[in-house]
Amino acid sequence: MELIWQGVVKAVELVFGFDAEVWQITWLSLKISGCATLISLLIGIPLGIALALTRFPGRSLVAASINTGMGLPPVVVGLFVSIFFWRSGPLGFLELIYSPTAMVAAQVIIAFPIVAGLTMASFQSLNPNLSLQLLGIGASRAQLLWLLCKEARLPLLAAVMAGFGGVISEVGASMMVGGNIRGQTRVLTTATVLETGKGNFDIAIALSLILLALTFAINFFLTRIQQREQLRWPRLS
């Protein structure tokens, strides 16, 4: 307990003492995972919608791959992204290994199947006749898609939260493709691993608490938006 208490005190000191390195690490974590989530949304949402609303040969195979991808181990992603970005690898000429860009790439591979899978499920949960009804009162294809996205906004926000949660908390891929280089690719999770390894439990606890607080703050914000219009269960007397 003593150890945890020391960690909490250290966290307060680091955050409110405006420790430059901790702020830099936190900001980098946010930037990398934020970027990766955004890119995952841009890929995952259209893919999820396409899988939910259209029929094409091989659709089941793609859908099953996406669902498998939702549980992809970050270490496996880290391994393959490392191989691709390795100096002698197929994308080695880009010289991206151990860079924040490589970390974003790895995190996108982790997050986009989560976003696509949940988007697909949220669109499939809509009444299939809703599309016909909206076309039946004069919606164009583009208007139809926009209205369906609006209608599925609650589960879509869950997809955003799950995607962000998946990448901000992963450590394996970031460590492997980022290299945990101080000031360049060190993020909250990799820093926590390093400090734990060194036996600096107070700093490790402090970093974990910052990570938790950050994740909570973002999810709290998204949940507020999501729940604002959620129907309440009737109060039973």
Partner 1 sequence: MAQTLLALRDVVVRYGALGALQVPSLDVATDDMLAIIGPNGAGKSTLLRVMGLLQRPSAGTVLFRGGNGHDGDPVQIRRRIATVFQESLLLNATVYENAALGLKLRGVSKDEIDTRLRPWLDRLGIAHLGARSARTLSGGEAQRTSLARALVLEPELLLLDEPFAGLDPASREALQHDFQRIVKEMHVTTVLITHDRDEAFALAERVGVLKAGHLLQLGSREEVFLRPKTDSVAEIVGIENRLAGVVEGSDGDCSVIAINGARIYARGEFKTETRVVVCIRSEDVSLVSVSCETKNINRCNGKIFEVVSGRRHHRVSVDCGSFHLVAVLDRKRGAEQVLMEGDEATAVFSSAAVHVIGAEKGC
Q: Which residues bind partner 1 (CB under 8 A)?
A: 127, 129-130, 132-141, 143, 147, 150-151, 229, 231
CA–CA separation, 211 vs 32, rounded Å?
A: 14
CA–CA separation, 7 vs 28, rounded Å?
A: 22
Q: Which is nearer to partner 1, 34 or 155 (CB)?
A: 155
Q: Which is nearer to partner 1, 87 or 150 (CB)?
A: 150
Number of neighbouring beta carbons within 10 Å of residue 223: 15
**Least distance to partner 1, CB of residue 58, Å:** 19
| Token couple for 165 | 């949660």
**Least distance to partner 1, CB of residue 130, Å:** 5
Q: Which is nearer to partner 1, 35 or 145 (CB)?
A: 145
**Least distance to partner 1, CB of residue 121, Å:** 17
Q: Which is nearer to partner 1, 19 or 151 (CB)?
A: 151
**Least distance to partner 1, CB of residue 61, Å:** 21
**Least distance to partner 1, CB of residue 149, Å:** 12
Q: Which is nearer to partner 1, 35 or 147 (CB)?
A: 147
Q: Using an 8 Å Cβ cutoff, are 188 and 210 in contact?
A: yes
Handedness of CA 119, 151, 42, 98 (dihedral sign): negative
| Token couple for 49 | 């919608």
Give Cα separations from 21 to 6, 33, 99, 190 (angstroms): 19, 18, 18, 14
Q: Using an 8 Å Cβ cutoff, are 171 and 207 in contact?
A: no
Which helix (H) or strand (E) segment is 196 a member of?
helix 188-198
